[in-house]
Amino acid sequence: MNERSIAVFASQQENGVLLTGDLGRNGLQQLKSAGIPGRVTLLKLPHHGSRLSHPELYLEWLGPTLAFVSCGKDNPYGFPHQQAIEACARKQVQLLRTDLAGMLTFSDMNGHWQLP
């Protein structure tokens, strides 16, 4: 069922955001086949940062500068998985987390994502 998640891409000039739902490896392949119509600079890590969603493959393919994960504080699944956190660190992608920061709001300010 996760592979049926809706993925949404939106952009403004050179900044693009990709919301991946709960996609995994198969969903990634479908996205690659369909193509993304612009550059992804902000990525919502799939499936709350689960290791089974293979976030490192998304980071490698898309090369975002900023990523975020939506997960509850002290969630029983341990999301985001340490593997997702380390993948972002290796790729030098700043990772924001709703379990630590609460609700996240992003704005495009002169070609850079800003948090109010």
- pLDDT at 3 exceeding the cut of 80: no
For domain 2-114, give the fold: Metallo-beta-lactamase; Chain A (3.60.15)
Residue-wise pLDDT tens digits, 5-38: 889 999 988 899 999 999 988 988 999 999 999 9
Per-domain residue ranges for the chain? 2-114
- What is the Cα–Cα distance from 57 to 24, expressed in whole angstroms? 10
Residue-wise pLDDT tens digits, 33-82: 999 999 999 999 999 999 888 999 999 999 999 999 999 999 998 899 99
DSSP β-ladder status, 66-69 and 94-97:
parallel
Question: What is the structure's pLDDT at 2?
Answer: 75
C-alpha of 105 from chain center = 14
Question: What is the structure's pLDDT at 9?
Answer: 96
